[in-house]
Amino acid sequence: MDCSVMPIKTQSPGGSNLFMISTTDYFYPSVDDPFVQGQIGACNVLSDMYAMGVYNIDSVLMILASSLEIQDIKIRDIVTRRMIEGFSDLCKRASVEVTGGQTVFNPWPIIGGTAMSCCAANEFIMPVHAVPGDVLILTKPLGTQVAVNVNVWLQCPERPNWAKAQEIMNLEQAYSAYDKAVESMTRLNLNAAKLMHKYGAHAATDVTGFGIIGHSRNLAKNQKAKVDFVIHTLPIIDLMDKIDALFGSNWKLLGGFSAETSGGLLIALPEDKAKNFCQELEELDHQPAWIIGKVVESQNEENQSTILENKTIIYI
């Protein structure tokens, strides 16, 4: 699961059973701006909680490393302070209090944290109840890893990667892809978590470092029912699949293996509720969500997740 779920040993007299839901995650920089990197770090930590349907989060502890590779102390202090400010800003947007944390020196800067919430059983959704007939919804596009790499190439124009990339994209398209990736990585999955309860979600996970196929396989394997996940649609930041192909499918984006930082929620819920879920989420977030697959009865010894060869690509 995306979070630890532990029963609280001491329960209130006559009260409902309570559980401590918690998660820890941290990240190295993937963008230029330390403030934005702080936002991304917080957003990704909180997404683990949102994947469990936990949207009232009690506390976040910040994990921070100040970079020893930045030898100018004034610049190091600015970068470190801006990461803290970005992390705190995102947590404020999520109505979560940062109550402490740990700071160390490290060769590379690091930002992340530990999120915690005390919940009754009806306040979180165990990700194990998908059934045949459910559909799979994804709340953010894929391709962020490719987009941030393209942005790195722009910082080093003397290197051959950007020159090669220009065979299929121009500077404006590269900046557009990066902007879309940043918007996605800093957008909270908070509203999606709330709607999971409203529309009766059966299971969910957030799509991060193992790519859409890695996380969907893990989610499928943990279902109580004998089910397989079949992914028929991939929403992708425009041109990122073509960049991947140009560089020998280095990221394996169309295979579902490309890492996503602070990606969307992959949610299994009843088919008759899916369109309304996507419509309401778009009204709240001003960004689309997509029905990307279906849950079918499994004929295999172990539950599986696959991406169809003739999948549909939606460009964002």
Domain contains 256:
yes
pLDDT along the chain (316 residues), means of 10: 88 74 93 96 97 97 95 95 97 96 94 96 96 98 97 86 94 97 98 98 97 98 98 98 97 97 97 98 98 96 97 98
Between CA 245 and CA 254 the distance in angstroms is 9
Identify the pLDDT of residue 188.
98
How many other CB atoms are there within 10 angstroms of residue 242's CB atom? 17
Query: Within this chain, do residues 114 and 160 fall inside the same structural domain, yes or no?
Result: no
**pLDDT confidence of residue 1:** 82
Asked if residue 259 is part of any domain, the answer here is yes
- pLDDT recorded at residue 157: 72
Q: How far is CA 52 from CA 2, 214, 303, in A?
A: 7, 18, 20
Domain boundary among 101, 123, 145: 123
Instruction: Note whether residue 229 is domain-resident.
Output: yes
* Domain of 283, in residue numbers: 134-315
The answer on 83 and 142 residing in a single domain is: no
Domain end (from 69, 89, 123): 123
- Answer yes or no: do 17 and 165 share one domain: no
Is residue 128 one of the residues assigned to a domain?
no
CB-count exposure of residue 39 (10 Å: 0-12, 13-18, 19+) = buried
Residues 164 and 85 in one domain: no
Q: Are residues 256 and 300 in the same domain?
A: yes
Domain boundary residue, one of 70, 100, 123: 123
> Per the structure, how many domains does the chain have?
2
* Distance, CA of 96 to CA of 185 (rounded, Å): 18
Q: Is 249 helix (H, G, I), strand (E, B) or coil?
A: coil
What CATH number is associated with residue 66? 3.30.1330.10
Question: What global pTM score does this model have?
Answer: 0.95
18 and 158 share one domain: no
